[in-house]
């Protein structure tokens, strides 16, 4: 039942538990011989996405779509891989294909809003996200798309209100909202407020055993400490982040904070892991 392991991996990943998701994908890979060709392509694509190798994931999903062009999971996940490869316009195109095949899928529609946001098309992002919330007010990523789009258009109060609505949904979304409000504080130059928000969020995440969420906040906190020239605090926070997650974004933030805090060798350790796993197209330029 390899696909059961991969299905569980998807659930764990969507819960913000990438390390646990990766373990289940590895179990799924050990049962590829019992899967159909279509299932194997989907499983390997999901594994590579979770293992922070979007280039290989794009290859698997591309092969899936060559054989099964109406596979909505193929289009949706290829879009995500393309986003991680810093190709938001292509991601948006693939996301729209998934919606075209399955227009009532709120996850696909929300992803289109996010891809539009990353592509800098904030009006489209807000329109798509608002339409999703009309159907279901519980879709957390729609609030993210609305809040970030508002912030990037310098509508700080609107962004703050969207993050506050996100916080009211449940404890997990409240954690995400705290990160968003901290980002907004940084954008507005309120670095001390960002520190207070992140430290409070870390305490709440650790109390609720949301290890990866706490790691993300430690990485963000390291960056803020570095901006405040609190180098020792920045190094400590970066270390806590790097030790607790496999998430590419959090690790990148931690590495950059290490550089800014005068600890380039610590950053090099993280970077060496990127070189092994990601390949040349996904390596950040040297600073």
Domain ranges of the chain: 1-103, 198-287
CATH superfamily of 1-103: Tetratricopeptide repeat domain (1.25.40.10)
Q: Is 127 or 245 the better-scoring residue by pLDDT?
A: 127
In terms of DSSP H, where are the helices of the chain?
A: 2-14, 18-29, 37-50, 54-67, 72-84, 88-101, 106-118, 122-135, 140-152, 156-167, 171-187, 191-207, 211-227, 231-244, 248-260, 264-278
Least confident span in 12-16, 178-182, 189-193:
12-16
Which pLDDT score is estimated for 275? 61
Which pLDDT score is estimated for 286? 36
pTM of the predicted protein model: 0.85
Which pLDDT score is estimated for 247? 84
């Amino acid at each position: 039942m390899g696909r059961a392991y991969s299905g569980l991996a998807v659930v764990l990943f969507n819960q913000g538990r990438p390390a646990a998701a990766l373990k289940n994908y590895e179990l799924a890979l050990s049962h590829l011989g019992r899967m159909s060709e279509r299932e194997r392509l989907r499983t390997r694509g999901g594994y590579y996405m979770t293992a922070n190798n979007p280039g290989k994931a794009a290859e698997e999903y591309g092969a899936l779509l060559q054989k099964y062009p109406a596979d909505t999971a193929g289009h949706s996940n290829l879009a995500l891989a393309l986003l991680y490869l810093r190709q938001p316009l292509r991601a948006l195109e693939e996301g729209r294909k998934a919606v075209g095949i399955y227009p009532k899928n709120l996850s696909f529609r929300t992803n289109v809003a996010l891809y539009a946001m990353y592509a800098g098309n904030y009006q489209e992002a807000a329109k798509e996200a608002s339409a999703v919330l009309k159907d279901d007010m519980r879709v957390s990523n729609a609030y993210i798309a609305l809040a970030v789009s508002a912030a990037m258009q310098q509508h700080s109060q609107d962004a703050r209100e969207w993050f506050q609505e996100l916080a009211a949904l449940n404890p997990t979304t409240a954690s995400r909202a705290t990160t968003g409000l901290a980002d907004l504080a940084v954008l507005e130059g309120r670095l001390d407020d960002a520190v207070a928000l992140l430290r409070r969020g870390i305490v709440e995440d650790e109390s609720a055993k949301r290890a990866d969420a706490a790691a993300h906040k430690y990485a963000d906190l390291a960056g803020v400490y570095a901006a405040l020239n609190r180098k020792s605090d920045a190094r400590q926070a970066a270390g806590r982040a790097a030790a607790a997650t496999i998430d590419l974004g959090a690790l990148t933030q931690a590495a950059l904070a290490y550089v800014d805090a005068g600890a380039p060798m610590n950053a090099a350790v993280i970077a060496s892991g990127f070189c092994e796993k990601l390949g040349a197209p996904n390596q950040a330029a040297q600073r």
